[in-house]
Amino acid sequence: SHRHRNTKVRFGEPRDAAMSRQLKEQMQTKIQEKGEIEQDLEALRKELRSLGAGMNESLVDKEGFPIADKDVHGIRTLRNKIICRKNDHEAMMHEIEKIMFKYHEVLKKEKTDADSKRKAQLQQHAKNQVCDFRKIL
C-alpha cells in the first residue's frame, strides 16, 4: 500500500516490523526536537524576566505612551518569539501524537498477524495429529 512506500526494510525483516521500527525512530526524533523547543522556551522566558516583564502586563502608561524604564521593543520581540515557539511546541505535540497512534496501530497489526500465524500453525499441527492418528487405526 502507499503508506509503506518509504519504509526501509532490512534484509529478512517483515514490512510491519520495519514500519514499527521506523515510526519508533521518528517518534524519538520528534520527542528530542520537542525537548529542544522546551529549552528554547525556557531561555526566552528567562530573558523576558530579565527585562522585568512577563507575557501579559501592559507596556504603556495611562496616557498610552511606552513605559520609559522598559525596553518595549525588546519585550515585544521576546513575547512574539515565545508565542511562535509555543505554536511550534503545540504542532510538535500533534505530530508526536499522530506518530504514536500509527506506531501502536502497526504494533497491534503485528500482534494480530503473529496470533493468526500461530493459530494457523496450531490448526495445521492438530490436523497433522488427526491424520497421524488415523494412520495408526
Q: Per-residue pLDDT for 3 more than 50?
A: no
Q: How confident is the model at residue 1 (pLDDT cuts 50, 70, 90)?
A: very low
**33-63 pLDDT, tens digit each:** 999 999 999 999 999 999 999 999 999 999 9
34 to 21, 87, 91, 95, 110: CA distances (angstroms): 20, 11, 10, 10, 28
Give the three-class secondary structure for 60: strand
129 or 119, which is more confident: 119
Q: Per-residue pLDDT for 11 more than 50?
A: yes
Specify the pLDDT at position 85: 98
Specify the pLDDT at position 4: 47
Q: Is the pTM of this model over 0.85?
A: no
